Amino acid sequence: MFIGLGAGFAVQATQYSMGTAARMGPGYFPFWLGIVLALMGAIVMLGALNKRATETHVSRFDFRIVALVVGSVVLYGFALRPLGLYLSLFLLVIVSSFASHEFNWKVAVANGLFLVLFSYVAFIRGLGLIFPLWPAALGN
């Protein structure tokens, strides 16, 4: 799967201008991302084909987990504007954490707080992106 997706992205990216490392074109990043993804897929495949690889059995598909993860992302999308970045991102982490079989409130809250802080530093301070940070009722 990784090899196929990576190769597909790399091939499709060649339709765009590549540019150089100093002046990247629109196809540069997706091309190299596709190459890296395909290489990671090849490494995983070679490791799985090794005679000493441990054999694992996949249990039945759990739709509850998929619904929690996908639902939390959809919930984030709907909650971003009315709740702001901080609360909607924290909510995303808490809801998606219920998908884990080892769910722990302390770990979920710590992950949520870390992700909120990281998003603030990386996207608000670092990249200067403009998001509503708090609920609109609080008057940002």
The answer as to whether 5 is a domain residue is yes
Give the tens place of pLDDT for each residue, 59-114: 888 899 999 999 999 999 999 888 988 999 999 999 999 998 888 999 999 999 99
The answer as to whether 136 is a domain residue is no
In 3D, which of 100, 78, 104 has the Cα closest to residue 91? 78
Please tell me whether residues 27 and 72 are part of one structural domain.
Answer: no
**Count of alpha carbons within 13 angstroms of residue 96, beta-carbon side:** 16
Q: What is the mean pLDDT of the chain?
A: 89
Please tell me whether residues 36 and 80 are part of one structural domain.
Answer: no
Please tell me whether residues 42 and 75 are part of one structural domain.
Answer: no
> Given this model, what pLDDT does residue 140 score?
52
Domain, as residue range, for 38: 1-49
CA distance 40 to 36: 6
Torsion of CA 131, 133, 138, 140, to 10 degrees: -60
Please tell me whether residues 38 and 71 are part of one structural domain.
Answer: no
Confidence of residue 12 (pLDDT cuts 50, 70, 90): very high
| Residue 11 and residue 31 in contact, taking contact as beta carbons nearer than 8 Å | no
> Given this model, what pLDDT does residue 139 score?
63
The answer as to whether 101 is a domain residue is yes
> Given this model, what pLDDT does residue 136 score?
75
Q: How many domains does the chain have?
A: 2
**Residue 56, helix vs strand vs coil:** coil
**Residue 25, helix vs strand vs coil:** coil
Query: How far is residue 41 from each of residues 45, 85, 110, measured CA to CA in Å?
Result: 6, 34, 31
Please tell me whether residues 69 and 115 are part of one structural domain.
Answer: yes
Residue 58 above 90 pLDDT? Answer: no
Please tell me whether residues 41 and 76 are part of one structural domain.
Answer: no
